[in-house]
Amino acid sequence: MEPSNSGNAETAIATPADAKVVINGIMRSMSSSNYYGRNFIMYGDAKGGDLTIYSAGRGLDALYSFNHTPTSNNYSGFWVTGYYCIMQINNLLENVERLEAEGKTGFSFYKGQALTLRALIYFDLVRLYGLPYNYDKSSYGVPNVTTTLGADAQPVRASVEENYIQIVNDLEEGMALLASNKAAQNGYIGYYANVALQARVKLYMEDYDGALAAAEEIIKNSSYKLYQPSTWVASWNGQFGSESIFEIGIDTESDLGTSSLGFYLMCYAQKSGAQGWFLASDYFLSRLGQDASDVRWGIMDNDEYWYDTKNTRKGACYKYLGGTSLAGDGKETYTAVNIKVIRLSEVYLIAAEAALHSKTPDATLAAGYLNEIRKRSPQLALATSATITDDMILDERSKELFGEGQRFFDMIRKNKTIEFNDDFQGIPVSKREKTINRTFGKIVLPISQDEMNANPALRSEQNEAYK
């Protein structure tokens, strides 16, 4: 059933209220299991080595094993959902352009939201299907579609660089339109969410000065505040907290229940149907274990047979269940927990990395930003200008953003080797080695056979590992 608070941009848009209804529909689509509702978040940590699987067959194994082909385990839902949302956005933008040409007003903010969402979706798609910008920006990205297309259209893949140019252009145009109202937009894109996205995108582009400027605009000028160590754990059972720059709302209609992200990260057998699909790897637990008093242990719990008091391996993550008590975040069901897409803590970590690598590197500034997050590990020595390194920042990103879909993309963009916890789960993995780096062909997904059948122009543009 079509949610009552969402709409389709293919229908007539006559008023700003109609535009908001279309934005609601786009946000609802982004919360599906094929995107931010589950699989996109799982992708980043399973492929990045921070998650592992206890046994085969529980679900989404291929994310860990890289067992993808054009016809099986291709996760084409990313492509289908992403381009469906882009189609809706393009329709909305064209309708708004028509209405504004007729002299109607009141659409600017929604246009800014739409442009920013299109940038986010393209950023996600190009990371899934294209090589890292700093590795080979001339390689294939994804089709740049910015207008409505006919049913017989056959768009070809743009380059990674062309995708990023489009992403930055959309963000800059969107920011100007959103600047009229810099207040928080709970559950929607706002001005500072746009700026945070710019910081993230520019970090991936190694435009460190641009990333630092964007991050510092939020840190210095916005009303967002970091959680204190004593309030960090409790922040996960509330909505739209002081760190949450952009989160996607999950309500009773979009709640995935036993198919939700929270359920996939829950301990085995804690609730009927809970299979313990993915657990923290030994590598992640060792990283977090650098400080037994790290507050972030508070959202971890036993990973196998929750009722077994002898189990001390804290491999289950409860960020998306409101905490280990299954408190949820204030809704009827504990699995209907909002997805926090961009948090202020990430912005501080972006600022730290960007300051360390800016045209005029400032290790003291970098250490200061990192230490604001490192305070969550009270027994670890604070970073100094002499001790701060990329690896220290990456470790902190892993600990802070665990379960938020960032690790794989961080490791690949930084040209690091990813090691998988295969020995723990004891299942032969034949589609990759125990360690990979960005030269491994399957760090990108295949274009699905269905997409190539529908658009034969893509057949010659398949990613190399899948030809």
**What kind and span of H or E run contains 303?**
none
Of residues 450, 381, 443, the one with CA closest to residue 411: 443
Quick count: other Cβ atoms within 10 Å of Cβ 456?
9
As a whole number, the mean pLDDT across the chain is 94
CA-CA distance, 8 to 38, in Å (whole number)?
Answer: 23
Query: What is the per-residue pLDDT across 67-104, written as a single tens digit (0 to 9) for each?
Result: 999 999 999 999 999 999 999 999 999 999 999 999 99
Q: What is the per-residue DSSP string for 338-383?
A: PEEEEEHHHHHHHHHHHHHHSSS--HHHHHHHHHHHHTTSTTSPPP
Of residues 316, 307, 326, 335, the one with CA closest to residue 278: 316
Residue 328 gets which letter from DSSP? T
Q: What angle do CA 270, 275, 276 make, to 5 degrees?
A: 80
Residue 327 gets which letter from DSSP? -
Q: Which residues pair with 247 in a beta bridge?
A: 340
Contact in structure between 53 and 427 (CB atoms under 8 Å): yes
Q: Could you tell me how far CA 116 lies from the centroid of its own chain?
A: 15
Query: What is the per-residue pLDDT across 232-290, written as a single tens digit (0 to 9) for each?
Result: 999 999 999 999 999 999 998 999 999 999 999 999 889 998 888 999 999 999 999 99
Token output for 334: 């504990």
Contact in structure between 378 and 297 (CB atoms under 8 Å): no
Give backbone dihedrals phi and psi of 311, rounded to 5 degrees, phi first: -80, 120
Q: Give this prediction's pTM.
A: 0.95
CB-side exposure of 369: number of CA atoms within 13 Å?
26
Of residues 275, 254, 253, the one with CA closest to residue 264: 275
Assign 115 a pLDDT band (cuts: 50, 70, 90): very high
CA-CA distance, 77 to 82, in Å (whole number)?
Answer: 8
**Rg, the chain, Cα only:** 21
Q: Regarding predicted confidence, which is higher, 309 or 208? A: 208
Query: What is the per-residue pLDDT across 352-395, written as a single tens digit (0 to 9) for each?
Result: 999 999 999 999 999 999 999 999 999 999 999 999 999 999 99
Query: What is the per-residue pLDDT across 411-435, written as a single tens digit (0 to 9) for each?
Result: 999 999 999 998 876 677 888 999 9
- With 60 as the cut, is the pLDDT of residue 8 above it? no
Longest alpha-carbon distance in the chain: 70
- Contact residues for 242 (Cβ-Cβ < 8 A; gap 6+): 224, 225, 226, 227, 344
